[in-house]
Amino acid sequence: MNAPLLSVTGLTMRFGGLVAVDGVNLTAETNRITALIGPNGAGKTTIFNCLTGFYKPTSGELTLNRPGQLPVSLQTLPGYQVSRHGVVRTFQNIRLFPRMTVLENLLVAQHVGLMKKAAFGVAGLIGLKGWRTAEKEAIDRARFWIERLDLTSVADEEAGNLSYGVQRRVEIARAMNTNPLLLCLDEPAAGLNPKETGVLGELLQGIREQFGIGILLIEHDMGLVMGISDRIHVVEYGRKIAEGTPEQIRSDERVIKAYLGEPDEEELPAIVAEDVAGQEGGRA
């Protein structure tokens, strides 16, 4: 059996006395949608931040196995190198370049390849042929995603002026323009209405099928998670408490307990947990 695209082993992230992620193991495979769920403050976004070079994990291994290439330890890469190796993420609170058009946002995502062909932009300035072809290809690729995500009518508008749901789609389109092996989505359905969420689910499945990439998904919308995930990992208080298919997770006692609480549980731990969640949200 091949090594999984992403394999995380013993990931631990400490902030002073707070252990946000504690020895988590998880894998994400090519051509699969892997979901990461758990109550607020469970450490899901922290895991993403470790994956994409935001945080240097206290300990643990984050290995990316690219087909036909040597494995890479993601935790040793500087932030800007992570996407060059094929891992890209989106944010819970959307982070587009607000004063650039949608098309430009997608072109920025193709920067690395373009710069190589453009000799630091000098070739672009004097309009060399190699650069023009590269730029045209980049625009074609961006246009493909603009059409695919139904953004044609807003392609030349500044991203900051678009509505929330549209910005989400732009963010996914932009991530796909980096040509990723693993697409990490942090709550892509947050703020979407049920209809938009349905469209998003179909889109993610479509991307997975058409491009065979791995998708790692943090999401609170259980309908979406159960509907499209191939495998689900559940974390609570920084620890992984369950892993399995949607059917297994749905009936897992620990998961139900984590989400609904025990019948006779005192209220204090819940309040504390919410507080920790608030702090974590502020950091991310």
Partner 1 sequence: MDASALGTFLQYLINGLALGAIYGLIAIGYTMVYGIIRMINFAHGEIYMIGAFVAVTTFSILAAAGVTSVPLALLLVLVMAIAFTAAYGWTVERVAYRPLRGAPKLAPLISAIGMSILLQNYVMQTQGARPKPLAPVMNGGVTLWQGDGFAVNVSYIQLFIILLTVALMVGFTQLINRTALGRAQRACEQDRTMAGLLGINVDRTISLTFVMGAALAAVAGVLVTMYYGVIDFYIGFLAGMKAFTAAVLGGIGSLPGAMLGGLLIGLIEAFFTGYVSGAYKDVASFSVLILVLVFRPTGLMGRPDIEKV
Residue 61 CA to residue 24 CA, distance in Å, equals 10
Q: Which is nearer to partner 1, 52 or 229 (CB)?
A: 52
Residue 164 makes contact with partner 1 by CB under 8 A: no
> For residues 201-213, b (16+ Cβ closer than 10 Å) or e, as one string?
bebbeebbeeeeb
Residue type, 156: D
Residue type, 279: Q
Q: Which is nearer to partner 1, 3 or 112 (CB)?
A: 112
Find the part of the chain contacting partner 1 (CB under 8 A) among 2-10, 60-68, 73-81, 243-251. Answer: 73-81
Residue 132 makes contact with partner 1 by CB under 8 A: no
Candidate residues 16, 17, 79, 282; the one interacting with partner 1 per rule CB under 8 A: 79
Residue type, 163: S
CB of 236 to partner 1, least distance (A): 27
Q: Which is nearer to partner 1, 94 or 226 (CB)?
A: 94
Q: Does an H or E element contain 192, and which? A: none
Q: Which is nearer to partner 1, 82 or 234 (CB)?
A: 82
Binding letters toward partner 1, positions 84-123, x by CB under 8 A = x---xx-x---xxxxxx---x--xxx-xx-xx--x-xx--
CB of 19 to partner 1, least distance (A): 24
Q: Which is nearer to partner 1, 91 or 211 (CB)?
A: 91
Which residue, 279, 239, 268, is CA-closest to 255?
A: 239
Q: Which is nearer to partner 1, 15 or 97 (CB)?
A: 97
Which residue, 74, 21, 22, 32, is CA-closest to 52?
A: 74
Q: Token digits for 247?
A: 């059917």
Pick out residues in 172-201 that bind partner 1 (CB under 8 A): 174, 178
The residue assigned the tokens 């109550």 is 39
Q: What are the E-state strand segments in the chain?
A: 6-15, 18-28, 33-37, 59-64, 72-73, 87-89, 182-186, 214-218, 231-236, 239-244
Residue 262 CA to residue 260 CA, distance in Å, equals 7
Residue 66 makes contact with partner 1 by CB under 8 A: no
Which residue, 208, 176, 188, is CA-closest to 32?
A: 208
CB of 235 to partner 1, least distance (A): 22
Residues that bind partner 1 in the complex, under the rule CB under 8 A: 52-54, 79-84, 88-89, 91, 95-100, 104, 107-109, 111-112, 114-115, 118, 120-121, 124-125, 135, 174, 178
